[in-house]
Amino acid sequence: MNPPEPTITIQQLKSILEKDRNEVLLIDVRSKEEFETQHIPGAVNVPSNGIMEFANDASERDKTIVTICNHGGNRSQSAAQTLRDSGLKSSYLEGGTAGWYDEESTVPSIH
């Protein structure tokens, strides 16, 4: 995989997940309540106020991290930048969770 761009589209993410699910780590930076309401299968919840601690403790530095919020806005962009500043490969998902569910997802559920 090439070094990630700051953003990744839903179609790009689906393509990566279909090829090798272990290549990326999905980090949902919304609140616990938002995450529990709806999230992308396989995503891990790390609220934006905990992203710096996550970056410092990240054990999966070889993976590309994709940060996710509701619409691919400020929270996921800021989290992706924090992770990149910490030396991690990170992009944020354009369209966020809302965009993911607006499309009919063909990515298999990952548990």
pLDDT of residue 5: 59
Residues 6+ apart with CB under 8 A from 98: 70, 71
Residue ranges covered by each domain of the chain: 7-102
Which pLDDT belongs to residue 105?
A: 52
Kindly compute the dihedral angle of the four CA atoms of residues 22, 25, 26, 29, in this order, to the nearest 10 degrees: 170
pLDDT at 109: 52
Given 69, 80, 83, 93, which residue is catalytic? 69
Looking at domain 7-102, does it have CATH number 2.130.10.10? no
Q: What is the pLDDT of residue 2?
A: 47
79 as an active site residue: the answer is no
CA-wise closest residue to 13 among 98, 94, 104, 111: 94
The pLDDT value given to residue 1: 46
The pLDDT, as a whole number, for residue 72 is 79
Any bridge partners for residue 8, and if so which? 93
Q: What does pLDDT average to in each consecutive run of 10 residues of the chain (111 residues)?
A: 71 91 93 95 94 83 90 91 92 94 62 46
